[in-house]
Amino acid sequence: MRYSASEMDASNPLHAPRPLVAALILLLAACGGPRGREGSLDELLAAGSEVADVPLSARGLHVEVVSTDLPPQVMEYRIGPNDVLNIVVLDHEEFSSPRARDYTGGVLGTVVRKDGQVHIPMVGPVPAAGLTLEEFQEMLREHLGRFVKTPHLSVDILRYESQKFYVLGEVNRPGAFAVTGATTLLEGIGLAGGVKPEGNLERAYVVRDGALLPINLASLLLRGDTSRNVYMRHMDLVYIPSAADQTVYVLGEVLRPGAVPIRESRLNLAQALAEAGGLKHVEARRRSIKLIRGSWQEPTVYTLKYDTVLELGDRIRLEPGDRVVVTPTTLTTMSRYMEQILPFLQGADYATRIYGQAAAAGR
């Protein structure tokens, strides 16, 4: 399923490609083709419900499984402020990182300053932030060439201090962890002590640059599918919700988009739409309603006509984690849906609150 920027209503100032929206558009552009399949209203209806034998097309139901692809992953680390480097220039200790003066002789290291540069005695400041180790080593070689005919040097990182990723929710040791360029998602969860028994891996998610990544943590941790075991990057957020969280999300053209709790283990589609204040305007009745169920990696999307929802909405049962989207226009909704869902996953101010805390901790 592929959407161009024009299909995502980029001309609308309310939906212009800000950094968050731009990241979501890139994610959606990577979508693989949807796989339509024969579906049945029985899989949506509550137990005991009966529907006359009418073709699905007449009932206004279309079912497809939407798969999304990740871009190629690169194991790479770029130096940042506060990182501590070990610089060794062969036969020239005056240019090398300082060592402790006690009996240990341990390397104290060279700190990357806040301005992104390192200070080398006699050489002066050398830019480092934003470079890989190989790029910085080559730049340092050029600077040293003014003092040493053929400098032989090596650079490695003593301490990773500039970049963090976060593992939060139902894990044993939630917190911030250093990005090394080589730490995978699976290893990151291990650093957080693993998932608690009450954690819900099917509904867990990974956020990068303000966008949900198409990753199913249950497939990674329980079913051994390592194809999406991505490398952790700066400000990545891994969140494991509680299995006790009985919530669905109603978005799009409704009066009060947001989270709707499932009370006493029962909630149907009609009730969820009513809890969200109903449709925003009459025109919305001519548009489809999408029920999105399953992981972020490969959700099943049920598309229903409004008339079908009127007739059967009180018998269409919802499950925790379901996303109901009243489409504002054909399928510009997928970008809007992805834009809208993130703040409601843990409350209306969730994204701002979490990323504000993460940014403060990362300074």
- pLDDT tens digits for range 180-190: 999 999 999 99
84-159: CATH number:
3.30.1950.10
Of 101-105, 137-141, 142-146, 212-216, the range with the lowest mean pLDDT is: 101-105
Confidence at 82, pLDDT banded by 50, 70, 90: very high
Q: Can you tell me the distance from the alpha carbon of 296 to that of 215, in angstroms, rounded to the nearest whole number? A: 6
Please state the domain extents for the chain: 6-65+246-344, 84-159, 164-240
Of 6-20, 46-60, 210-224, 335-349, the range with the lowest mean pLDDT is: 6-20
Percentage of the chain with pLDDT > 70?
72
Closest CA to 222 of 245, 184, 194, 243: 194
Confidence at 361, pLDDT banded by 50, 70, 90: very low
**Who contacts 77 (Cβ-Cβ below 8 Å, separation ≥6)?**
132, 133, 157, 160, 179, 180, 181, 182
pTM, two decimals, is 0.75
Better pLDDT: 34 or 191: 191
Q: Is 326 helix (H, G, I), strand (E, B) or coil?
A: strand
Better pLDDT: 297 or 179: 179
- Which two structure tokens, joined as six digits, stand for 203? 């509904």
Residue pointed to by tokens 């990151």: 188
Q: What's the confidence (pLDDT) of residue 232?
A: 96
Q: What's the confidence (pLDDT) of residue 277?
A: 93
- pLDDT tens digits for range 20-52: 333 333 333 344 444 544 455 666 775 544 544
Q: What's the confidence (pLDDT) of residue 143?
A: 95
Domains 84-159 and 164-240 agree in fold:
no
Output phi, psi for 19, to 5 deg.
-55, -40
Of 1-10, 97-106, 156-165, 259-268, the range with the lowest mean pLDDT is: 1-10
Percentage of the chain with pLDDT > 90?
42
Look at domain 164-240 and name its CATH class. Answer: alpha beta
Four-residue CA torsion sign, 31, 37, 40, 43: negative
Closest CA to 190 of 171, 209, 207, 165: 171
Better pLDDT: 96 or 335: 96
Q: What's the confidence (pLDDT) of residue 50?
A: 52
pLDDT > 50? residue 102: yes
Confidence at 1, pLDDT banded by 50, 70, 90: very low
Q: What's the confidence (pLDDT) of residue 11?
A: 32
Q: What's the confidence (pLDDT) of residue 341?
A: 66
pLDDT > 70? residue 68: yes
Q: Can you tell me the distance from the alpha carbon of 153 to that of 96, in angstroms, rounded to the nearest whole number? A: 9
Better pLDDT: 243 or 17: 243
6-65+246-344: CATH number:
3.10.560.10
Q: What's the confidence (pLDDT) of residue 40?
A: 55
Closest CA to 97 of 106, 83, 107, 105: 107
